[in-house]
Amino acid sequence: MAERWIQVATIVAKEGDEGEVGRLLAECVPPSRAEEGVLLYELVRSKRNPRQFLVYEVYRDRGARDAHRDSEHVQRLIVGDVLVRAESVDIAPYVAMQEVS
């Protein structure tokens, strides 16, 4: 059985772009959650810094993550628009502690 793929994406919008970045990220949520290999896709915004967003993502496996990354909505909304409005983007892989031996 393939190992689940877990990642956390932290996006900090450029000053003045936080509203549009938030809208674009929120628009990406429904089609992402509808993907077959997506187990969890949660978007949150920092209470301390309204320019900072976090996406917690859990995929069936790395192939499902790759399919999500290459999907039309991610390419259009994230690659095509959010990335140019972002001051910084960090995508970090994680492993569930119960899966650590």
Domain membership of residue 32 as a residue range: 18-51+61-89
Q: What is the largest CA-CA distance in the chain?
A: 45
Q: Which of 1-5, 13-17, 20-24, 48-52 has the lowest mean pLDDT?
A: 1-5
pLDDT at 29 over 90: yes
| Residue 49 phi, psi (nearest 5) | -135, 100
How many domains does the structure of the chain reveal?
A: 1
Does 78 map to a domain? yes
pLDDT at 67 over 90: yes
**Cβ proximity of 52 and 46 under 8 Å:** yes
- Confidence grade of residue 5 (pLDDT, cut at 50, 70, 90): very high
What b/e readout covers 11-26, taking b as 16+ CB neighbours within 10 angstroms? bbbeeebbeebbebbe
Does 100 map to a domain? no
